[in-house]
Amino acid sequence: MIRVVLVDDHELVRSGFCLILSGQSDIEVVGEASNAEDGLRLLRTVKPDVALVDVHMPGMSGIELTERVQRAGLATRIVILTVVQDAQFPRRLLQSGALGYLTKACASEELVQAVRAVARGSRYLDAAIAREMALSAVDGDGSPLDALSSRELEVALMLARGMAVNEVANHLHLSAKTVSTYKQRLFEKLGVQHTIALAHLLSAHGLLNDPPVAVA
């Protein structure tokens, strides 16, 4: 039996996925969470085989959750769900440790297929996404976000959501000086001068729903 946890801030989405997956004889939905913080606690407690994780959530994002699962050494395999169909975005997510990538517009059969594949330890990409990724590799296109380390991307997401350096430092249990160094380094890598530009860049690559009014 494949044990699955759903992490999405939209109750209707969770209900729909639960209905689809619960109709399968080999899949059991063992928990739900409406944000990444609760989702991470649930994964530590329930230890499911697969977690379906929305990338856009209040607070911690799906990519942050994925990377924390990896750092914690949890065995749960992650399938990221989003409305964004951008070849540059899923590549960065897969680098963070996600094994699957699906858009929320996927067919129910594809959702089930993805869960089964990821549970076996195989990667699963939406067909259209896989095609675009292959084309972008041939064309040599890449995302500037690929140049960031996991920690730099995590800091970037927090800054882009309007958190001050001291807030980021407290959240990540780092010194303010260390966070400032990460901020300077990621600004240089991305070619941005302030946090508002950073927020717009992350939004353009699907990591934020809407750029907030960020602090510089």
pLDDT tens sequence across 54-104: 987 777 888 889 989 988 999 999 999 877 655 555 566 667 789 998 888
Q: Is the pLDDT of residue 8 over 90?
A: yes
Say if residue 101 is in the same domain as residue 198: no
Say if residue 120 is in the same domain as residue 166: no
Q: What is the CATH number of the domain that holds 37?
A: 3.40.50.2300
Range list of H helices, the chain: 11-22, 36-46, 62-71, 88-96, 108-119, 127-139, 150-160, 165-172, 176-190, 195-204
pLDDT tens sequence across 14-62: 999 999 999 999 999 999 999 999 999 999 999 999 999 998 777 788 8
Give how many domains the chain has, as a whole number.
2
Say if residue 123 is in the same domain as residue 190: no
- 209: in domain: no
Say if residue 149 is in the same domain as residue 98: no
Domain of residue 72, residue span = 2-139
pTM for the whole structure:
0.71
Say if residue 16 is in the same domain as residue 98: yes
- 87: in domain: yes
